[in-house]
Structure 1
């Protein structure tokens, strides 16, 4: 078996995996073009997914439609939260909302969630290469019936998250945090 040197950083893939950050704020004013998102999705859909079910669909809120969308979205919140939510949703330049089927079969539902998680990681890595910041948000509004209705989410579907999108400048990239060495979380079968 080939031993991988854990200090090797010359792989472009390793570099983007380790350098990617979730960008939650300080986006530039540059609009996010649908053509860019489609280019990213063209490659992101190569995520592994059991039986090639491709358990996802996308709702894109462009920079041009963002104000209209936010105006309708904040109406789903209680009055006392609406201004706060308007400011929060105004930060990104665009949104990509990902919807998956809620398969009634447990195994398939778990496989679909795993597949869409891989898809989102692909989106984040591909976007990072283009200096497009992404953060995957799973705030409570993703299960709100009013938000589901606003977005045309059908019975038997689930919003898996809002991806907040926006270009970033190098100086606004958050510092990376160390990860636990996987050796600390590894158990060998014979050790059980």
Structure 2
């Protein structure tokens, strides 16, 4: 079997980690914009570009912190330690909220969700290549209409993820992945399904 030499891209894909602990070093807004300008080349049906971005950094992080505190007061923050979560949000250098327009048509909604997810993965890989760590969070509160309203998500939009970003304080070890061939079914002739 022909073995292809690992490319730099493969190294980035295999090397990327979800980062949970960040240094206090600020993230440069221009870097985030540059990364997003490359990430938007994700495949998306009809080039609909269904996404929008909200970047919370510096004092702007208090908007998202206040929204979390409001959710806590409403009894909608399902976490064992809301104070710890809120403090984490304060200390992470930047939060990027990625939203998509929600279509009433199921097919379009699914295509747009997949495209926006591909964009987020592009962003994570591009950031990793620049030494910027991220973690893609989809906590329950991103589906709360009050949380969305508090941070400026518009009606008809869905948060696909909150991307915490900064320079890694520590990089976790890689976790093994199942080989693709263990999950691959090859259909090399017409089969009759029963």
So what's the TM-score if we normalise by structure 2?
A: 0.87
Match of 1:32 in 2: 27
Answer yes or no: is the 8 Å Cα contact 2:96–2:162 preserved in 1.
Answer: yes
**CA offset at residue 67 of structure 1?**
3.5
Matched, 1:43 2:38: yes
Gaps of 5+ in 1: none
- Rounded Cα–Cα distance in structure 2 between residues aligned with 1:4 and 1:75: 57
Answer yes or no: is the 8 Å Cα contact 1:31–1:93 preserved in 2.
Answer: yes
Answer yes or no: is the 8 Å Cα contact 1:148–1:154 preserved in 2.
Answer: yes
Match of 1:179 in 2: 177
Answer yes or no: is the 8 Å Cα contact 2:50–2:101 preserved in 1.
Answer: yes
- Rounded Cα–Cα distance in structure 1 between residues aligned with 2:2 and 2:153: 45
Matched, 1:15 2:11: yes
Match of 1:69 in 2: 64
Answer yes or no: is the 8 Å Cα contact 2:67–2:147 preserved in 1.
Answer: no
- Rounded Cα–Cα distance in structure 2 between residues aligned with 1:34 and 1:49: 25
Answer yes or no: is the 8 Å Cα contact 1:44–1:126 preserved in 2.
Answer: yes
- Rounded Cα–Cα distance in structure 2 between residues aligned with 1:159 and 1:15: 30
Match of 1:83 in 2: 83
Could you say what secondary structure the match of 2:148 adopts? helix
So what's the TM-score if we normalise by structure 1?
A: 0.88
1:109-167 CA distances to partner (integer Å, 9 max, x unpaired)?
11111101110011000110111111000001101121111122222211111000111
Could you say what secondary structure the match of 1:127 adopts? helix
Answer yes or no: is the 8 Å Cα contact 1:49–1:115 preserved in 2.
Answer: yes
Could you say what secondary structure the match of 1:28 adopts? coil
**CA offset at residue 82 of structure 1?**
4.1
**CA offset at residue 40 of structure 1?**
0.4
Answer yes or no: is the 8 Å Cα contact 2:42–2:122 preserved in 1.
Answer: yes
RCO comparison, higher one (Cα < 8 Å, 6+): 2
1:91-121 CA distances to partner (integer Å, 9 max, x unpaired)?
4211000111111111111111110111001
Could you say what secondary structure the match of 1:141 adopts? helix
Gaps of 5+ in 2: none
- Rounded Cα–Cα distance in structure 1 between residues aligned with 2:128 and 2:184: 30
